[in-house]
Amino acid sequence: MEVLETACIYGADAVYLGLRGESSLRASARNFSLEEIGRAVAYAHGKGVKVYLALNTYPHDSRYGELPGLIRAARDAGVDAVIVSDIGVLAMVRRTAPGLPVHLSTQANAVSSHAVEAWRGLGVSRVILARELSCAEIAEIRRATDCELEVFVHGSVCVSISGRCLISDYLARRGANQGHCTQPCRWDYAMVERTREGQYMPVEEEDGFTFLYNSRDLCLLPVFGEVMALGLDGLKIEGRNKAALYVATVVSVYRQARDAYLEDPQGFAVQQGWTEEIARVSNRGYFTGFFTGAPGHDGINYDFKGYEQTHHLAARVVDVKDGRVTLEARNPLVEGMELEWLSSAGPRRCFTLQGAVSEGTALTHIRPSQVFSLQTPFVPVPGELLRKPFSEGDRVVPGRTR
């Protein structure tokens, strides 16, 4: 819920979410219960933000029994659309809740206008295109159909075609298409001779080439003007397993870029500050996916040392009253520390942490989860975030966080 609120505060005009269980492709994430979906919809709609529910696994017959109840509950909760991949799920949504719009997941791998039109004929109102498409191909599809189209602009991608993959089923007995991927494509592989247990020999094409299938993360910011010129109906940021700081940063950057483009398409240029911000959140190195042509070696991060990230979450604004700001710490904080306030409406602002008070006691050290108040040289809104750069002695190790 907190991540959803963060997305709404920092400029998303729609969010997608999953239910607990195996109905979405992030089954292990802290997803929403049916009751929480109602709260999420009420909050998002109050901010003018749409909510799309992902029902995009490929259920076997044994799982179909629960679907009508989930679909009716989603409709009654007021979700704006459901996202499906499987044609059987699509048919069931159409039968159970005929008025509920259906979006086709990228997982269904639509790569042509013919596929888009065929899905539309089956009742789909929006197609989230497969990620394996170039800018020219997307433009061609856009010209050939007036069905709503959406593309991914940012986030993790699979080395297999839009996530259709059995590596996790095979190595971990956890199926990617049932939402249980353990991401074995990111594991560090070595070779072991049968009789020499524990002696790991590197599998290397060249120095350091051991992360054979570890795709870089998609980032279409460098070509954002071309993305916007396509006239799409939705730009999707992958974020269902991401923390609030990631969501705030990435959503805010793309929102600013979108607004800047719409204000002056001819004069649009990617700002250095946006690129720097995007580099500050957890990532595996960026590339532009298939948008600028099929990726080669540059699409894989062979020399993976862990997630790249320069900042972590310091605190979240809980309340603002009578000039005092109440915050909840998310990492250890110490008086005198430099913090950055991530304003949802303007540039970020740096300030020095001082004058923190909790239950009438002045604090020099603040522990995670502790609620405290202080006077700030700015007026934030509840839900906004403060961050701090990694520094010596931080408990969180850079490169190993999300």
Task: Name the residues that contact ligand SF4, by CB under 6 A.
Answer: 158-160, 163, 165, 167-168, 176, 181, 183-185
Q: How far is the CB of 3 from ligand SF4 (least distance, A)?
A: 20
How many other CB atoms are found less than 10 A from the CB of residue 150? Answer: 20
Nearer to ligand SF4, 75 or 174 (CB): 174
Q: Residue 76's closest CA among 35, 105, 48, 47?
A: 35
Give me the least distance between CB of 147 and ligand SF4, in Å please. 27
Q: To the nearest whole angstrom, how small is the minimum distance from the Cβ of residue 12 to ligand SF4?
A: 24
Taking each helix axis from N to C end, the angle separating 244-263 and 2-9, rounded to the nearest 10 degrees, works out to 20
Q: What is residue 222's DSSP assignment? A: G
Least distance in angstroms from the C-beta of 267 to ligand SF4: 39
Q: In angstroms, rounded to a whole number, what is the distance separating the alpha carbons of residues 263 and 247? A: 24
The residue among 160 and 326 lying less far from ligand SF4, judged by its C-beta, is: 160
CA angle 227, 4, 264 (to 5 degrees): 30
Tell me whether residue 171 or residue 381 sits nearer to ligand SF4 (CB atom).
171
Which residue, 111 or 366, is less far from ligand SF4 as judged by CB? 111
Q: How far is the CB of 293 from ligand SF4 (least distance, A)?
A: 20
Listing DSSP states for 301-365 in one string gives -TT--S-B-SEEEEEEEEEEETTEEEEEESS-EETT-EEEEE-SSS--EEEE----EETTEE-SE
Judged by beta carbon, residue 60 or residue 143, the one nearer ligand SF4 is 60
What is the C-alpha to C-alpha distance for residues 266 and 259, in angstroms, rounded to an integer? 13
Q: Report which DSSP code applies to 226.
A: H
Smallest distance, Å, CB 128 to ligand SF4?
Answer: 16
β-pair type (126-128, 365-366)? unpaired
Minimum CB distance to ligand SF4 smaller for 63 or for 186: 186
Give the nearest distance from C-beta 123 to ligand SF4 in angstroms: 27
Specify the residue, 168 or 376, whose C-beta has the smaller distance to ligand SF4: 168
In three-state secondary structure terms, 286 is strand
Structure tokens at 376: 């700030």
